[in-house]
Chains A and B, each alone.
Chain A
Amino acid sequence: MQEPSIPDIIQLIPLKSYLILSTALFVIGILGVLIRRNAIVIFMSVELMLNSVNLLLIAFSSYKSDPSAQVFVFFIMAVAAAEVAVGLAIIVMIYRNTRTIDIGFLNKLKG
């Protein structure tokens, strides 16, 4: 018996389920960004959004038998890492100055 390939395994689940799951993850990420006040948690929510996109791209990629989306996923991962580095650096910088990462304390700039 031949081992099923990874695209075959991914296609065991209908495309619509992937779409619903990643949309749900994406919406959870958006709600996290909008509701939470801790900078690190907001940051994690953004990462959740990016990873829901990765999931969706991979699902589309195996359904369309087209590898270009997988390449895109690699780029998203690499860029997300760069963003993590810069974001954490900013958060550490703020923590050094204020001893807090609650964005509610950041109100020096008012409109």
Chain B
Amino acid sequence: MLTDFGIILLFIIAGFALLGVVLGVGRLLRPDNPNPEKNSTYESGEDPVGNANVQFNVRFYVVALIFVLFEVELVFLFPWAVVFGREDLIAQTEGRWGWFALAEMTVFVGILALGLAYAWAKGYLDWVKPKPHVSQFDSPVPSELYEQLNERYAGKAGKGMEEKSNQLP
């Protein structure tokens, strides 16, 4: 007689067995002649560039840290919500229970909000735009001509340019 967990174990074993069988059969049947082209990483037809372990911009970490903190504090709202709505407790205290619980949670959330306000005022929530690189090249062509050119092609080229500037570190 199998218990519920026994069935799960059987399922897991069957899963692994099937995987092994499929891979084994594939290995036996398929032709095996690799070349560098085939072994390279699949990047939708592009040549892969650089390592997959590139460093993310540090901004992501700062936002992630702030997120982690505020996200987990939410865990305290669940047990609070369970007792907040208890009708018998509210009836016993003639309604004071609800207000008391609400006030307590307001203090808690208020302190968290203060923390968020602090992070905001310090500027940790601002998404710093990368500064465009201004060339110091002294061009004989007057700058108005460039601007006219930019205006004429603004509709066509603008989008591509913006994407490129976002990729700058």
Contact = CB atoms under 8 A, between A and B. Distances in A.
Given A74-B75, A74-B76, A81 B69 contact: yes
A54 B65 CA distance: 23
Given A71-B79, A74-B79, A96-B58, A89 B73 contact: no
B72 interface: yes
A85 interface: yes
B61 interface: yes
Interface in B1-43: 4-5
Contacts of A92: 58, 61
Interface residues of A, number: 16
A81 B72 contact: yes
A78 B75 contact: yes
A85 B79 contact: no
B149 interface: no
Interface in A69-89: 70-71, 74, 77-78, 80-82, 84-85, 88-89
A83 B68 CA distance: 10
A14 to B, nearest CB: 12
Contact of A85 (B4, B58, B69, B75): B69
B58 A81 contact: no
